[in-house]
Amino acid sequence: MPEALADLIARHGAGAREIATRDARLALKDFAANSPFGGERSRFAGRSVALAVADMTHAAAALIDLDGLARRILLCPPGWDAAEIARAAALAEADAVAHDEGEPPPFACEIAAPVRLPLQPRGAAAATKLATEWVLPTSGTSGPPKLAVHTLATLAGAIAPAPLQEWATFYDIRRYGGLQIFLRALSGRGSLRLGGRGEKLDGFLARLDGVSHISGTPTHWRKALMSGAAARIAPPYLRLSGEIADDAVLSGLAAAFPQAKIEHAYASTEAGVIFAVADGRAGFPAEWLTRRGEVEMRLVDGALHVRSPRRALRLIGADAALTDAEGFLDTGDMIEIRGERCFFLGRRGGIINVGGAKAHPEEIEAALNALPAVRAARVYARPSPITGALVAAEIVLNDPAAASRELERELIAAARARLPAHMAPARIRFVADLVISDAGKLSRHG
Amino acid sequence: MSIRDLVLKEIRTVADEQGKTLPPLSDDLVLLECGLDSLCFAILVSRLEDETGRDPFATAKASAFPSTVGELIAFYEPLDA
């Protein structure tokens, strides 16, 4: 019988472990006899269930309850509207929906039940456990959604036994990066702390006393560094994933949290967890490209291709195959080798074409982030009638009062000294905050 | 500042930033021969759009593209000026 999430929790006992958000606490031991669906639980047996709730605690409760019971769970990310949910539900052949109490189901469906907290007593547990498929939308920003099909085995494959870890994550657990932390916490010995709905980052940081392991995107971490609340915590372990970790954010975190082990992980919804880098430097050792083993990597036309048993089993809603004939998956992440080190340049699709010369926004952001006056930068394409596109940037300054036309010129000059001419921003706008997507990453729209 | 002064100032600024040397700017100086490359022009046009709030390239026919400094200045001068 396949191992279900309940078995992962039981590995080290539920004890006093819990999932705590700002608004609710879920005691893991309560799941032994209770369900967020109460007596309606059995209606989901063998079904393809769209999990579409606004609140993360409710999502966590439903995931723990449905794994092994449902045939498939579609994890709808927060922020999806009813049309997006319905479209993905059709692709995932959802024949059931778990939705918010007091709200109508987001699409018409014969089997619909609300996720209710606190948990209610459930009937007898199903006799058989299914190898439930976990279906996650990939984080593509345009076009119809692609859905990646995982199981608990592929999702939890990179999680090694560990001593007591008290986890917190800035992510939503319905994103791949947050889901990793959710599964790490549940299969470990400690508890998990999550953000509340609409909770600001500094409010969340203020609730993290006693947490030992914290994960988020580099964008989350830059915001954390900007927040005075970060000074009140001293976690022994920080993890970055989901975006390129540049030297500026890594050294900023090392200075702010001198006691911490800092790792940046490379993973994607399709490819799974590929590696984590612990030496405090951006990029990863070039020799890893020739390593043989469970996970293998190679470069094809500058793009990183990976082969891993933790990858998604298949994609739903995509024409192209997930992997090539040898089982390698094209990540679309562009790599440059400098000496003994590989550096991520950015997404292949995100390249800005300046009159035929290519510029990766992420590489330019890394150069801007390294300037002393800069707290955080977002680079985007500005249409140009001459070159098709130009590089432009939004910058949050360490000292917002210093914003001036003069400083803009200085920063452009500093960028030009470090980058090829077409990559230096033509224009810089000073902003109070950068636009962050629901996935906790810098917005790549316009 | 007049449109003329603004265009000339931005040409000099961009040339300075990009390390280009300009010949004396006269109205009949051909833009492609003034030492600025297409990246410089792209930056110049984006700055002029920001300063004037106008993007004449968005409405111009290809044949009407300015070829001299004087035409570039006229390009940004409002029709009623």
Q: What is the DSSP string of A121-147?
A: E--SPPSS---PEEEEE----SSS--E
pLDDT classification of A144: cutoffs 50, 70, 90: low
Residues of chain A with C-beta less than 8 angstroms from the C-beta of B18: 416, 421
Which pLDDT value is given to residue A320? 73
pLDDT at B60: 60
A170 bridge partner residues = none
Give the mean pLDDT of A68-93: 94
The Cα of B81 is separated from the nearest Cα of chain A by a number of Å equal to 24
User: Which of B17, B42, B58 has its CB closest to that of A386?
Assistant: B42
Q: Which residues of A touch B64 (CB under 8 A)?
A: none
Which of the residues B14, B18, B39 would you substitute to probe the A interface, choosing the one with the greatest number of A C-beta atoms within 10 Å? Answer: B39
* Minimal Cβ distance to A386: which of B45, B50, B58: B45
All residues at 6 or more sequence positions from A4 whose CB lies less than 8 Å from its CB, including other chains:
A67, A68, A129, A132, A152
User: What is the mean pLDDT of the segment spanning A197-218?
Assistant: 91
Helices B3-17, B69-76: axis angle to 10 degrees equals 120
Element (H, E) at A63: helix A56-66
What six digits make up the tokens of A106? Answer: 């987001």
* Contact by Cβ (8 Å): A109, A95: yes
pLDDT of A436 above 70: yes
Mean pLDDT calculated for residue range A122-144: 78
Question: How far, CA to CA in Å, does A373 sit from each of A367, A418, A431?
Answer: 12, 15, 13
Please say if the pLDDT value at position A78 is more than 90.
Answer: no
Q: How far is B55 from chain A (nearest CA, A)?
A: 9
Nearest to A390 among B18, B43, B57 (CB): B43
Cβ contact, residue pair A422, B39, below 8 Å: yes
pLDDT at A333: 92
CB contact under 8 A, B18 and A421: yes
Which among A425, A362, A366 has a CA at the least distance from the CA of A390? A425
Token pair belonging to A9: 């929790």
Alpha-carbon dihedral of residues A403, A407, A411, A414, nearest 10 degrees?
-150
Average pLDDT over residues A185-193: 96
Residues of B in contact with A387 (CB under 8 A): 38-39, 41-42
Q: pLDDT at residue A48 above 90? A: yes
A188-214 average pLDDT score: 92
Q: What is the largest CA-CA distance in chain A?
A: 71
3-state secondary structure of A377: strand
Cα–Cα distance measured from residue A123 to residue A20, given in angstroms and rounded to the nearest whole number = 26
Structure tokens that stand for A107 in this block: 């699409």
Q: What sign for the dihedral angle of Cα A214, A263, A153, A440?
A: positive
Evaluate if residue A61 carries a pLDDT over 90: yes
- Residue A191, pLDDT > 60, answer yes
Distance CA B68, CA A12 (A): 77
Query: For position B62, what pLDDT does the model report?
Result: 47
Confidence of residue A445 (pLDDT cuts 50, 70, 90): low
Across the interface, of B17, B18, B38, the residue whose CB is closest to A386 is: B38
Q: Which of residues 351-380 of A touch B (CB under 8 A)?
A: 354-355
Quote the pLDDT of residue A125.
67
- Strand A272-277 with A261-268, pairing: antiparallel
Decide if A355 and B42 are in contact by the 8 Å CB cutoff: yes
Residue B79 has pLDDT above 60, yes or no: no
Kindly list the residues from chain B whose CB atom is less than 8 angstroms away from the CB atom of residue A416.
17-18
Higher pLDDT, B41 or A155: A155
> In whole numbers, what is the pLDDT of chain A averaged over residues?
91
Q: What is the pLDDT of residue B64?
A: 62
Q: CB distance B38–A412 less than 8 Å?
A: no
- C-alpha to C-alpha distances, B14 to B45, B57, B71, nearest whole angstrom: 10, 19, 18
Other CB atoms within 10 Å distance of the CB of residue A436:
17
pLDDT of A396:
94
Burial annotation A370-406 (CB, 10 A radius, 16+ → b, else e): bbeebbbbbbbbbebbbbebbbbbbbbbeeeeebeee
Dist. CA A272–CA A153, nearest whole Å: 11
- Provide mean pLDDT across the span A257-278: 96
Return the pLDDT at A318: 74
A417 touches chain B (CB under 8 A): no
Query: What mean pLDDT comes out for the span A125-149?
Result: 80
User: Has residue B81 got a pLDDT over 70?
Assistant: no
Chain B residues inside the 8 Å CB shell of A386 = 38, 41-42, 45, 57
Q: How confident is the model at residue B80 (pLDDT cuts 50, 70, 90)?
A: very low
Phi, psi at residue A223, to the nearest 5°? Answer: -65, -40
Highest mean pLDDT among A201-210, A293-302, B39-48: A293-302
Q: Is the pLDDT of residue A124 over 80?
A: no
**ipTM of this complex:** 0.88
How far apart, in whole angstroms, are the C-alpha atoms of residue A349 and residue A371? Answer: 26
Q: How far apart are CA A216 and CA A229, in angstroms?
A: 16
Residue A218: phi and psi, rounded to 5, are -55, -35
Q: Which residues, 6 or more positions from A384, have their beta carbon under 8 angstroms from its beta carbon?
A: A354, A390, B42, B45, B46
pLDDT tens for residues A384-422?
888 888 999 999 999 999 999 999 999 999 999 999 989
Distance CA A379, CA A389 (A): 12
% pLDDT > 70, chain A = 97
The arithmetic mean of pLDDT across residues A115-137, rounded, is: 89
Contact between A390 and A437 (Cβ < 8 Å): no
A385 touching chain B per CB within 8 A: yes
pLDDT digits (tens, 9 = 90+) for A10-39: 999 999 999 999 989 999 999 999 999 999
Beta-carbon separation of A412 and B17 below 8 A: yes
Q: Which helix (DSSP H) or strand (DSSP E) does residue A73 occupy?
A: strand A72-75
Rounded Cα–Cα distance for residues A386 and A224 (Å): 39
Chain B interface with A: residues with Cβ < 8 Å: 17-18, 38-39, 41-43, 45-47, 50, 55, 57-58
Chain B residues lying within 8 Å of A413, measured CB to CB: 17
Residue type, A198: G
Helices in A189-280 by DSSP H: which ranges? 201-205, 218-226, 247-256
Select from B17, B46, B50 the Cβ nearest to the Cβ of A384: B46
The arithmetic mean of pLDDT across residues A30-52, rounded, is 95
∠ Cα B1 B77 A390 (to 5°): 85
Alpha-carbon distance values, A62 to A44, A65, A116, A282 (Å): 11, 5, 9, 37
Question: Do residue B39 and residue A354 have CB atoms under 8 angstroms apart?
Answer: yes
